[in-house]
Amino acid sequence: MTIWKDLIEGVFIGVNIAIGLISTYQVLISCSGIIRKKEPVVQKPEKTFAVLIAAHNESAVISPLIENLKQLDYPKELYDIYVICDNCTDDTAEIARSHGVYACERFDSTKKGKGYAIEWMLENLWAMPRQYDGVVMFDADNLVEKNFLQVMNERLCRGDRVIQAYLDSKNPYDSWVTLSYAMSYWFMNRMWQLARYNLGLPNTLGGTGFCIESQLLKEMGWGATSLTEDLEFSTRCIDRGIYPTWTHDTKVYDEKPLGLAASMRQRLRWAQGHFDVASRYLLKLIGKGVRSRRLGLLDAAFYLFQPMYVLIIFCLSFLTMGNLFEWNHLIGMQNVFPDWYIYGLATVAYVLPLVALYLEKLPLKAYLGYVVLPLFILTWIPVFLYALFTKNNKVWSHTTHTRAIRIEELQQ
């Protein structure tokens, strides 16, 4: 019994050291998000863009986005709008055509999902007479700031090849669930994405509102057909040494589900895709990062490890609170690191979301998100646990969108 006890104690001490170091790393990285450098647009419009909208039965929300995109502050002759009508059974295609944009209809009952739809669209795009410098991707429920293509033109001219825009919510105050989503976005935009951009580390694509250089897409192919095609593609880029970058200077607004049940279905798809991609790339990135001594690869691996990191912390907290074993007093970082260090680290971690809200100049009602976010985070636990054992699921779960908000309403 003593041998087993010593072994278990050693494992928990090792795990706590690892968790403490990872937590320290993340807090230190996040602090660099406090700084935001101004990046003025100086390049004249010259890049051409194919603007792709992924849509499956989106007749309720597609019109405001198309109208929004047609009013961007960018020469109209330099971009075209394509709506990917993927297995639609409603009038999404007819609505798109009525707005004077391209409606590309795809029907495939065996390859369902956004990743397959994008791959199909790109194959068709490369076969067209007109070719573009960049490909921009949106979801049908999005809205976009009018300077979007100006900023992407600037970044492509500068040499960036994959660029993610600021992700915001178009319905943050509809429910506590949508406010929790928004709070997560506001924090991640500032203390994760911008922080990494400031340090020259790779950013992560967020599923919508990003631009990819066409030549890069032709070189490596889309090849991202998992449930999280954005994560898969950005991970493949990082593996090739191409770091996605971030812009804080233009926003994309995304609709979030109102209720917890719909939210958990959406997040389950994300989590299953995340575990799937992690199972294929996590060890590869770690090995490559160690051999080449490149922090960017290790940081990307850290992002892939995030769901497991959350589950490990949850399990440690659960065991610490419960009197489950006679050696439970050994569980917890406080037995490895000094109390002052643990409490100081925790204080900074809890304050950073408030700092993000302040720096982003959000209204007072946004601070309610800080109150409800811990409950929302707890609902991730069953999602992650279930997704861990169902990561091989490839069935796409569609999120229904209903809020036909126009960009003018968000800017009032």
Tens of pLDDT, residue by residue over 171-203, are 999 999 999 999 999 999 999 999 999 999 999
Q: For residue 246, how many C-alpha atoms fall within 13 Å in the half-sphere facing its CB?
A: 25
What percent of the chain is predicted at pLDDT more than 90? 72
Tens digit of each residue's pLDDT (9 = 90 or more) over 241-277: 999 999 999 999 999 999 999 999 999 999 999 999 9
- Provide the 3-class DSSP secondary structure of residue 163: strand
Q: Does the structure show a pLDDT above 70 at 316?
A: no
DSSP 127: T
Q: Does the structure show a pLDDT above 70 at 73?
A: yes
Owner of token pair 């010259």:
46
Torsion angle defined by CA atoms of residues 305, 307, 312 and 315, in that order, rounded to the nearest 10 degrees: -170
Owner of token pair 């779960």:
397
- pLDDT at 332 (0 to 100): 46
Cα–Cα dist 243/258, whole Å: 34
pLDDT range class, residue 320, cuts 50, 70, 90: low
- pLDDT at 110 (0 to 100): 86
- Residue ranges of E strands in 214-295: 245-254
| Angle, CA of 86, 88 and 90, to the nearest 5° | 155
Q: Does the structure show a pLDDT above 90 at 310?
A: no
- pLDDT at 335 (0 to 100): 63
Residues of the chain with CATH 3.90.550.10: 49-257
Phi and psi (nearest 5°) for 50?
-100, 115
Tens digit of each residue's pLDDT (9 = 90 or more) over 21-47: 888 999 999 999 999 998 999 999 999
Q: Does the structure show a pLDDT above 70 at 304?
A: yes
Element (H, E) at 137: strand 134-139
119 vs 20, 56, 89, 115, 116, CA distance in Å? Answer: 41, 15, 21, 6, 5
Q: Does the structure show a pLDDT above 70 at 64?
A: yes
* Percentages (nearest 5) of helix, strand, coil residues in the chain: 55, 10, 30
Q: Which residues have CB under 8 Å from 310's CB, separation 6+?
A: 380, 381, 384
**What does the block give as tokens for 311?**
């589950």
Choose between 111 and 173: higher pLDDT.
173
Smallest CA-to-CA distance from 79 within 60, 97, 111, 53 is with: 53
Cα–Cα dist 367/187, whole Å: 12
- Residues 252/143, Cβ–Cβ less than 8 Å: yes
pLDDT range class, residue 339, cuts 50, 70, 90: confident
- pLDDT at 133 (0 to 100): 98
Choose between 97 and 3: higher pLDDT.
97
CATH no., domain 49-257: 3.90.550.10
Q: Does the structure show a pLDDT above 80 at 381?
A: yes
pTM of this prediction?
Answer: 0.91
How long, in residues, is the chain?
412
Cα–Cα dist 103/100, whole Å: 9
Mean pLDDT of 50-59: 94
- Residues 65/142, Cβ–Cβ less than 8 Å: yes
Cα–Cα dist 320/328, whole Å: 6
What percent of the chain is predicted at pLDDT more than 70? 88
214 vs 102, 126, 129, 219, CA distance in Å? Answer: 19, 9, 14, 9
pLDDT range class, residue 111, cuts 50, 70, 90: confident
Q: Does the structure show a pLDDT above 50 at 329?
A: no
Q: Does the structure show a pLDDT above 90 at 280?
A: yes
- Residues 184/373, Cβ–Cβ less than 8 Å: yes
Choose between 310 and 146: higher pLDDT.
146
From the CA atom positions of the chain, what is the Rg in Å?
22
